[in-house]
Structure formats: C-alpha cells, structure tokens
Structure 1
Amino acid sequence: MTDSRLQSPAAARNRQPILEVLRQVLPDNARVLEVASGSGEHALHCAADMPSWVWQPSDPHPRALASIAAWRQQVSLPNLAEPVRLDVTDLDSWPAAPFEAVVAINLIHISPWAVTETLMALAEECLMPGGVLYLYGPFCRGGLHVAPSNAVFDADLRRRDPRWGVRDLEEVIAEAGRHGLTVECLVEMPANNLSVVFRKG
C-alpha cells in the first residue's frame, strides 16, 4: 500500500469464517464495538456485508488507527464509524455504551492476562442485556495445546513477552462467568483457532 492502509494475511484468511459466526449470533441491527481492530480489515469486511450493523472500530496504536481511517475513506461505508483510540485497560477510553456486541479478534493471547480481566468486566458494563462478547483466537483446553503449531506459537509469544500466551479456555470461561457472561457456543475455526461466543445474562 502506498497510503496508510495496512494488510494482514491472517485477516484475509479468517475474516469470512468470523463473519459467518457473527451473522449467526448477532441481531440484524447490532451496534458492534470491535476492540484491537488492527489494520481495520475485519471492520471493513463486516460493515460491507452487513449494512444494518453499525461497526465501531478501535485500537490503542496510532498506526492501526491511521490504517482503519484510510480503509474507511477508501470505501465510504455509512455504517463504519470513525475509529477511536481505545486501550482496554484505560476505562476512560471506552466509547459510550450500550452495544449489542463487543468483538475481540486475536487479542487476549497477545496481551497480559489483565487485559482479559478488564475486557470481561467492561463487556458486562457496556453490553445490552442479551448482548454478545465474541472472542477469536487459539486456546488451550485443560492446559493442553490442541495442535503442535499452537504449542510453537505459544512458546514464541512467551519469548516475546512473558505476560503473553495462548489462554486456557476453561480459565477464560471462568473469568467471563464472574462478570455475568455465559458461554453460548464454541465454533472450530481454520488453523486450529476457535470462536468463543459469550452471552450477557
């Protein structure tokens, strides 16, 4: 790209499978907050396919925010909101609620566990009753990796930052439960990833 738009090979591969899950669990007129939107390609893809959704992208990093803004300018989708700076652990940076969904794609394994804890707590606060918290990424199950590639990825993450790592699904579900979020479904995704859908009771 010659402008600020970033491209992610992973986003290109997983955006359609993710969209298919979201279409099954979200209402037609959902207001969606995406945290850690990265390049903005998921926001673009979902907003283009579902014009009745209002999609609010966000990220803490200036380069990502510039990429999201550039993609938004390129396509001019009325339901794709201007990106906002949001650091999950900075309570003041969260936009005004309520939302029908909070979406976090490839976030909780590339961040300290405190991010997961805060994400759950604030999802409880900002979701409508019956709203969805959607997580996508790799997970352990019962402390065991589901594939050798996930074990290699986990080791690489922990080398980069000891606070990072592939999260244990049972621990994530337990943390969600402490904030009134019940796991509704688990969907196996390509490349040994998982979609985890929580519903606010």
Structure 2
Amino acid sequence: MNKPYSAASERNGEPILVLLRQWFADRRHVLEIGSGTGQHAVHFATAMPHLIWQSSDRAENLPGIRLWLDEADLPNTPAPLELDVMGAWPCWRYDAIFSANTLHIMAWHEVESFFASLSGVTTDDACVAIYGPFNIDGQFTSESNAAFDRELKMRAAHMGIRDTSDVDVLAASVGFDLAEDIAMPANNRLRLWRRRGAGS
C-alpha cells in the first residue's frame, strides 16, 4: 500500500510544532491519540528527539502509520499502538498527551471516555495538548467552522465541533486545568491542560 497522506497534517504540523517545542520541552514520553496518517508523529519526533513519541489509533489506521514510521526510521518512535478510546488503554504512564482533529470526529460519549481514561495513563505532572476546531460559548468562531460542522453532521449525526467549556469540564473532572488556549491558522485552536498542582 502507498503511504496515506493528509494535506491538513502537512500544513498544520509546523504551526503546532512551534508551541509543542515550548510545552513539551521538559516532557519525555508522549502518547498521541488518533495518529491518523502518522505524519504528525514523524514530524514532531524528528524535531523533538528528546521525546519518545508513541503513536496510536484504531486498528485500520495502523498499517499506514507504520509506513511513515518505518520510512523515517527514527529511534524515538516505537511501533504504533492499537487504541480505541472505548476499549483498553496502555498500561504505561505518559507525561504528555497529544491529539489533533479527533474530538469533532468522535461521538460525545467517546469524548467523555477519552478524558475519563486520562487518569490511568498519565503521570502526576502530565499535560494534555489538543488541536482542532472549537466553539466558544456555544458559538462558531467562523463561518467556515459553521459550514464544517454542517458537513460533519451530514457525514454522521454524532460528529460535530465541541465547545471549549464542555471540554474544560471533562478535563477538570479528571484533574486537568486549562493552561493555554492559542488561536491557530484556519480557525483552529491548540489548547493545553496541566494536571492540577503540577505547576506552570
């Protein structure tokens, strides 16, 4: 098979990396949830060799991720893990979690499971960074996001752009407080939560 390719991942990789270089400077083990094509894993692991970047996704996406990882042949990208947020999670504890463009694809009960499961896979000083489109106070941040939300709901009724306040409630319920919320290109945001009491 040919390597899968996402033009969006190619475009947003560098803007995301600018922030992750700061936020993950003192991190060591990152679990990426929903690695998709695997492009982000290669891009970020190449740029931040101090990190062990653990990619993961549902079973059907793992072959494509392996193609990217095998071609890059980096020492800090172990084989991707099979991970469905409603299923079993890894036993390892990570000091950082990263996910891009996943929350609006999941059903809300899957988003709830995503956050509820964080306690079991994170260290006491962990942080969580999530990239994608978000609504603020129940409102779309752009006409393009409103159109995207309509497109998502036409694909599947359970999909849709999530509201920042709803997601913050889920994060807070497992001990993570919002530390950064950065507007990104194409009406996306990169949001960082830190475990309560872990410091700045």
* Residue 87 to residue 74, structure 1, CA distance change in 2 (3 Å): same
**Contact 2:33-2:55 at 8 Å conserved across structures:** yes
1:80 aligns with 2:77: yes
Partner SS state of residue 144, structure 1: coil
Give the Cα separation in 1 of the matches to 2:38 and 2:59: 12
**Contact 2:27-2:96 at 8 Å conserved across structures:** no
Give the Cα separation in 2 of the matches to 1:27 and 1:123: 21
Partner SS state of residue 4, structure 1: coil
| Corresponding residue to 1:161 among 156, 164, 183 | 156
1:9 aligns with 2:4: no
**Contact 2:105-2:159 at 8 Å conserved across structures:** yes
Q: CA deviation at 1:41?
A: 0.1
1:130 aligns with 2:159: no
Give the Cα separation in 2 of the matches to 1:28 and 1:75: 24
TM (norm. structure 1) is 0.94
Q: CA deviation at 1:29?
A: 4.5
Give the Cα separation in 2 of the matches to 1:8 and 1:136: 15
* 1:18 paired residue number: 16
Post-superposition Cα deviations, 1:13-37, rounded to whole Å, max 9, x if no partner, equal 0011111111111234520000110
**Contact 2:137-2:165 at 8 Å conserved across structures:** yes
Partner SS state of residue 145, structure 1: coil
**Contact 1:5-1:67 at 8 Å conserved across structures:** yes
Count of aligned pairs between the two proteins = 196
* 2:190 paired residue number: 195
**Contact 2:90-2:121 at 8 Å conserved across structures:** no
Partner SS state of residue 19, structure 2: helix
List gaps (5 residues or longer) in structure 2.
Answer: none
| Corresponding residue to 1:116 among 103, 108, 111 | 111
Give the Cα separation in 2 of the matches to 1:179 and 1:190: 29
* Residue 51 to residue 157, structure 1, CA distance change in 2 (3 Å): same
1:186 aligns with 2:184: no
Post-superposition Cα deviations, 1:161-183, rounded to whole Å, max 9, x if no partner, equal 11110001111111111111100
Partner SS state of residue 99, structure 2: strand
Percent identical across equivalent pairs? Answer: 36
List gaps (5 residues or longer) in structure 1.
Answer: none
**Contact 1:138-1:193 at 8 Å conserved across structures:** yes
Runs of 4+ in structure 1 deviating by more than 2 angstroms, as ranges, are none
Partner SS state of residue 108, structure 1: coil
